[in-house]
A and B are shown apart, each in its own frame.
Chain A
Amino acid sequence: MVARPYMSPYLAGIGVGLVLLLAFLIMGRGLGATGAYSTVLATAVETASPEHIVDRPQYASYLNHEEGSSPLKDWLVIEIAGVLLGGFLSALWARRFRIGITRGHNITDGHRLLMALSGGVLMGLGAKFARGCTSGQGLTGGALLSVGSWLFILFAFAAAYAIAPTLKRYWS
């Protein structure tokens, strides 16, 4: 089965922009991603070891037990659940759904998975320092012309471009 071609990135971008605009108009805030993961992690840590959360605001700030509900009943967590579903629906419709690994031709699956994991660790760290990622800072903060968001994106892309040559073989 042949997959459909990708949508024009300009059109996809406008689509994302309209969704982001709606978020601002309805909720007074933009979209995000990293915060959802922080909440999920904090919930897991709290479940495993409630004492560990005490005096650790880096966890506690993500644990909202108001109205006796689970901290996972959180705006960003629910949004990310939506992203998962939306991506799935799109992939299904475009006939792009396939269990597999996207990688360059010169490396093994295992190597790719290790690099993906490493990349994730770095991005997790970086996003925590920056209070957001390409969604929360790049798109949301970017649309608001926030100083810190534009600094973040500038340096993120600069670092990526700087390191790219060393990874050329791995990606081609």
Chain B
Amino acid sequence: MKIAHRLFAGAALVLALTGVVVGEFDRSSAIVATNQVDVYELAGWIKRGEVVLTDLRDPVDTEVFSLPGAMSLPDTLAFLEAEGSAATVVVFGYEDHRTWYPLQSRGYDVKFFADGVEQWLSKILNPVIYRFAPEEELAEFERHAEISQYFGGIPRYSISPVQTMSGSDQLARVRRGCGF
């Protein structure tokens, strides 16, 4: 077997085995999935001004409705540079796009808020619970009522066990100009 062949074979084996030794790479989808923030925790941070919030959606959508204090990506980057801040950045409205990379590559701590707008609308601004739901659920609902009201939300009790309106339906209403 020629020297060149031995070299290539050896290189391939070394590269593969070293791969086993150093371990797998983190899949970005896994990173997003394991770094999600809870909506109520986020609401608390926003209330206390402890978080930088970035809306990654198109301006067409962000103008209609967004979360309180949310900035666009360019504004967020400018803000963070000016403040020299070590704050946690929570991004939402990303879907499948890696639009947050400019934040990560600058070393900021990025957390993710999947379906951000829908969660905010359905859990903070328009929370609804079945009047005869189990005790623990009702108690939890009560606990969150305060933060809801802080942001202008109206907790409601429904006489039907079926959830009335999903977050995306609520957003559609907002787009059509109906209040909530």
Give Cα distance in the complex from A10 to B8, angstroms: 9
- Closest A residue, CB atoms, query B8: A10
CB of B156 to closest CB in A, whole Å:
45
Q: Within 8 Å CB of B8, what residues of A?
A: 10, 14
Q: Within 8 Å CB of B5, what residues of A?
A: 10
Give Cα distance in the complex from A10 to B5, angstroms: 8
Report the interface size for chain B: residues with CB under 8 A from the other chain.
2
- Closest B residue, CB atoms, query A14: B8
CB of A142 to closest CB in B, whole Å:
15
Q: Within 8 Å CB of A14, what residues of B?
A: 8
A 4-16 to B, binary, CB cutoff 8 A, 1 in contact else 0:
0000001000100
Of the four ranges (under 10, 10 to 19, 20 to 34, 35 or more), the interface on chain A belongs to under 10
Interface SS of chain A: helix
CB of A21 to closest CB in B, whole Å:
13
B 49-83 to A, binary, CB cutoff 8 A, 1 in contact else 0:
00000000000000000000000000000000000
Q: Within 8 Å CB of A10, what residues of B?
A: 5, 8
- Closest A residue, CB atoms, query B5: A10
Give Cα distance in the complex from A14 to B15, angstroms: 15
CB of B65 to closest CB in A, whole Å:
30
- Closest B residue, CB atoms, query A8: B4
- For window 22-40 of B, CB contacts with A under 8 Å fall at none
Give Cα distance in the complex from A132 to B62, angstroms: 41
B 1-27 to A, binary, CB cutoff 8 A, 1 in contact else 0:
000010010000000000000000000
CB of A38 to closest CB in B, whole Å:
26
- For window 81-125 of B, CB contacts with A under 8 Å fall at none
- For window 119-137 of B, CB contacts with A under 8 Å fall at none
- Closest B residue, CB atoms, query A13: B8
- Closest A residue, CB atoms, query B12: A14
Give Cα distance in the complex from A14 to B5, angstroms: 12
Give Cα distance in the complex from A10 to B4, angstroms: 10
A 153-164 to B, binary, CB cutoff 8 A, 1 in contact else 0:
000000000000
Give Cα distance in the complex from A14 to B8, angstroms: 10
Give Cα distance in the complex from A58 to B86, angstroms: 53
CB of B6 to closest CB in A, whole Å:
11
CB of B38 to closest CB in A, whole Å:
32
A 120-149 to B, binary, CB cutoff 8 A, 1 in contact else 0:
000000000000000000000000000000
CB of B27 to closest CB in A, whole Å:
14
CB of A39 to closest CB in B, whole Å:
25
* Interchain residue pairs with CB less than 8 A apart (3): A10-B5, A10-B8, A14-B8
* Chain A residues in the interface with B (C-beta under 8 A): 10, 14
* Chain B residues in the interface with A (C-beta under 8 A): 5, 8
Q: Which 3 A-B pairs have the closest CB atoms?
A: A10-B8, A10-B5, A14-B8
